[in-house]
Chain A
Amino acid sequence: MSDAANEKATPATGRARLKRDAEKAAAKAAGDSAAVPPGPDGATANAGGDRAAADTRTGGAAAWSDAGGTGPEARAGGASAAPRLAVRRTYKLYVNGAFPRSESGRSYPVTSPDGDHLANASLASRKDARDAVTAARKAFSGWSGRTAYNRGQILYRAAEMMEGRRSQFADEVAAADGVRRTRAEALVSAAIDRWVYYAGWTDKIVQAVGGANPVSGPYFNLSTPEPSGVVAVLAPQDAPLLGLVSVIAPVIATGNTAVVIASERAPLPAITLGEVLATSDLPGGVVNILTGRTAEISPHLAAHADVDGLDLTGAGDLATDLESAAAQTLTRVRRPAPGEDWTADPGTGRMTPFLETKTVWHTIGV
């Protein structure tokens, strides 16, 4: 089941609030917030009881929520100081290692399950998708040409970077899915562990699914899996972080590059993940994250002749049309499997659909 569906917190106990809510809360609480020492560089302002508990636990780690102006930025000053105006964060796309706005200049409001406005996200266009494919193609030979060990290290690095930002992710997941803080943290932990899982696969999958073939003749014959190329990934709509990592990590672990359409409803953790990837030694273009309307962008990716694989996990009702569009260039399609349990052992089932088997023969003679 999705991480959102299970533990929808009641508004009374654990609704997370960001931005405006947070600012309001900060302003209101200005009088007694001196008791909580602020982080060194705009540390999280805590709106809501469970958030405070989280900060106590993570302690100094909150210092990580600095890059790119993330998180709720209300900084509580002294009791007598005028309220400081927070620096809000702009959520942009992640394409070719950079964070551009949509070329269309459009954005759309992202709300919590309860309808509270969280942020404006970029509303990516067909052309943004095209640019993302170009970036992913450009990155492919370099990324697939890295040693498997190196890819593993970079995926592990992503886990390290996420760990450092776990509080921010927990905030975002809680806000996006309306789940309790503890649940959000568990989901963040699982997402981090997922990177670790796939980091370990990079240099083993070849051994697990490839091997020597005993042909009848004087030939050396070896089958090796190779990445398909550029994979368009429709991230699950209902699991904005754990589900997202669960679909991206297997695709790039094997050397593919990815163009990801984030959960339309809850895209914010995806952009934060982009920021993590940007600081994880992952070459630009290996993962490209688009936010916007899945129905608008995905047909262009499905039909794109330079897209080699299509993961329809988050496609919903679009799946049949997209699979049909993908048929035009024999794009490899992973069909959606509704009701996926993101906490289960992932196995290899998300890697093998985007692997090609290359079999090399060579004569054996003197």
Chain B
Amino acid sequence: MADDDATTAGNRPALGTALEYAPAPESRSVVAIRDSYDLFIDGVFTPAKSGERITTVNPADEQPLAEVAAAGEEDVDLAVVAARRAFDEVWGPMPGAERGKYLFRISRILAERAREFAVLESLDNGKPIKETRDVDIPLVAAHFFYYAGWADKLAHAGYGPDPRPLGVAAQVIPWNFPLLMLAWKIAPALATGNTVVLKPAETTPLTALLFAEVCQEADLPAGVVNILTGAGATGRTLVAHPGADKVAFTGSTAVGREIARVAAGTAKRVTLELGGKGANIVYDDAALDQAVEGIVSGIFFNQGHVCCAGSRLLVQESVADEVLERLKTRVSRLRLGDPLDKNTDIGAINSAAQLDRIRDLAGTGQAEGAESWSPACDLPERGYWFPPTVFTGVSQSHRIAREEIFGPVLSVLTFRTPEEAVTKANNTPYGLSAGVWTEKGSRMLWTANRLRAGIVWSNTFNKFDPASPFGGYKESGYGREGGRHGLEGYLV
């Protein structure tokens, strides 16, 4: 109905063409990355006795960011000894209220330095700045704030009148949410009076090392938090160390098994947060636009590097075509590229190894006869990238329907009845997360009751909160992190 007949002195902007978003990069200058980092043991940065070093690169352009130490057996030993001494002499005896104040202080510093952490995390991990800025780092500060408050209230947590800490906690975390996983591990451990030795992932050590600086800035007593960078060998040594009273691990189910085996016959308490193959169930009466958003955030949030990802879409046959059409339209609008660009929705795959794994499994999907779709999307020339991918025509027996891909790859299956949806959803050795989309309350609860999963998101997906327990059923691990339940794994 535009009246194009009239003349005008002004320019007419181009109409009916997409709005171009100019590059809007977040500034790198807020963070100073050193060339080289040592281990953080007993309150100071200490050169590794092992003498070994590893390089961490920016997955978006493959440029080295820094060199970090790879802790060896001797280094692990030193860290555990430091943590033990801190536990015995300082942190264990300290009144809960004082411990809590340290955690509050850490939370505040994290909030103050949030942008610095966000940029560093995006650089080291490859995830979009939008996520580190709006999700990861705010949740980190919130997590410390939440557990800070528990430190002097443990007698009211439901674990007996005088629950005691375990001692030294050995903690190994993954690369998908580096600082957030650190917070999930360290905050409850410290609140309950334990001391920690934490090993960040090989490919994402930098925010943990910056966190070590925060510990210094907060005047946290030496040895309460020790950060050991390194690869798998460092982690293995750490969790097997006889001085570790507690092992907390987030990562693959394969490594989780190994840890459970190592801990067998010892007094080590173990909590494991492992893999998943979450089902996202969309009933035909769902709020479809929001369901599509939930499907997208379920699998494309954080490049699909999410253990609780909704990697299996189970959509009711009667709306399957409509949902898929909407989904494809929506996925086509995702913006993939520079993680530091504020408009980027999908960043880089964290490592070459992970990219290989995603390619391998996606290749299997095609070989097994599932149909692959990706939007037209230019991948940057350098760095590790994988386009958002939707597989249709997937059956339960396909590898892409059973194995955790840990990438932006969605497998779509259909169902006809609620019973079938639940049966298919539960037909996996995993049991971490699930989604339910329906406008009918009773059907939601019916479904949620039957799903064998630790987290059920209804009409939402991939939401996290410090107060909300997180953890799986079956081979997705055991123990809970977050909330009151998150204290249990650190108390006797």
Contact = CB atoms under 8 A, between A and B. Distances in A.
Q: Do chains A and B touch in the complex (CB under 8 A)?
A: yes
Interface of A: 208-209, 211, 213-217, 219, 221, 223, 228, 305, 308, 319-321, 323-324, 326-330, 332-333, 356-363
B272 interface: yes
A356 B448 contact: no
A357 B463 contact: no
Contacts of B142: 216
Interface in B327-347: none
Contact of B468 (A215, A305, A362): A215
Contact of A361 (B274, B455, B478, B480): B455
B101 interface: no
Contacts of A356: 431, 454, 473
Interface residues of B, number: 43
A216 B468 CA distance: 10
A359 B483 CA distance: 11
Contacts of A361: 455-458, 460, 463, 468
A360 B485 contact: no
Contacts of B468: 213, 215, 221, 223, 359, 361
Interface string B450-465: 0101111111100101
A22 B478 CA distance: 51
Given A319-B265, A356-B454, A214 B467 contact: yes
Contacts of A223: 468-469, 483, 485
Interface string B468-480: 1111011111101
Contacts of A332: 478
A219 B274 contact: no
Nearest to A361: B457
Contacts of A217: 463, 465
A359 B474 contact: no
Nearest to B484: A211
B257 interface: yes
A3 to B, nearest CB: 26
A355 B478 CA distance: 10
Given A213-B467, A330-B274, A357-B480, A308 B265 contact: no
B265 A320 contact: yes
Contact of A209 (B158, B263, B454, B458): B158
A243 to B, nearest CB: 22
Chain A contact residues: over half helix, strand or loop, or mixed?
mixed
Query: 4 tightest A-B contacts by CB?
Result: A320-B265, A327-B260, A323-B264, A215-B465
Contact of B456 (A213, A228, A308, A360): A360
A329 B257 CA distance: 7
A221 B478 CA distance: 20
Contacts of A216: 142, 465, 467
A324 B460 CA distance: 38
19 contacts: A213-B467, A213-B468, A214-B467, A215-B465, A215-B468, A323-B265, A327-B264, A330-B257, A330-B475, A356-B431, A357-B454, A357-B471, A360-B448, A360-B456, A360-B458, A361-B457, A361-B460, A363-B458, A363-B460
Q: Give the interface centre of B429, B457, B477, B480 by most chain A CB atoms within 10 Å.
A: B457
Contacts of A308: 474
B261 interface: yes
B469 A357 contact: yes
A362 B455 contact: no
A210 B234 CA distance: 37
B456 A358 contact: yes
Contacts of A327: 257-258, 260-261, 264
Interface string B268-288: 000010100000000000000
Contacts of B477: 330
B33 to A, nearest CB: 31
Nearest to A305: B429
B85 to A, nearest CB: 28
Q: Give the interface centre of A217, A319, A324 by most chain B CB atoms within 10 Å.
A: A324
A78 to B, nearest CB: 62
Q: Give the interface centre of A209, A308, A330 by most chain B CB atoms within 10 Å.
A: A330
B447 to A, nearest CB: 10
B428 to A, nearest CB: 13
Contacts of B463: 215, 217, 219, 361
A308 B429 CA distance: 11
A239 B226 CA distance: 45
Contacts of B478: 330, 332
Given A215-B463, A308-B474, A360-B455, 13 more contacts: A213-B484, A217-B463, A324-B261, A326-B260, A330-B274, A330-B475, A359-B468, A359-B483, A360-B456, A360-B458, A361-B457, A361-B458, A362-B444
A332 B480 CA distance: 13
B455 A219 contact: no
Q: Give the interface centre of B142, B272, B468, B484 by most chain A CB atoms within 10 Å.
A: B468
Contacts of B456: 358-361
B273 to A, nearest CB: 11
B253 interface: yes
Given A323-B264, A327-B257, A358 B454 contact: yes
A332 B260 CA distance: 10
Given A213-B469, A356-B473, A363-B459, A324 B264 contact: yes
B254 to A, nearest CB: 11
A326 B257 CA distance: 9
A257 to B, nearest CB: 15
A131 B142 CA distance: 49
A256 to B, nearest CB: 13
B407 interface: no
Given A208-B158, A329-B429, A221 B458 contact: no
Nearest to A363: B459
A324 B473 CA distance: 19
A255 B477 CA distance: 20
Interface in B422-438: 429, 431
Contacts of B96: none
Contacts of A362: 444, 458-460
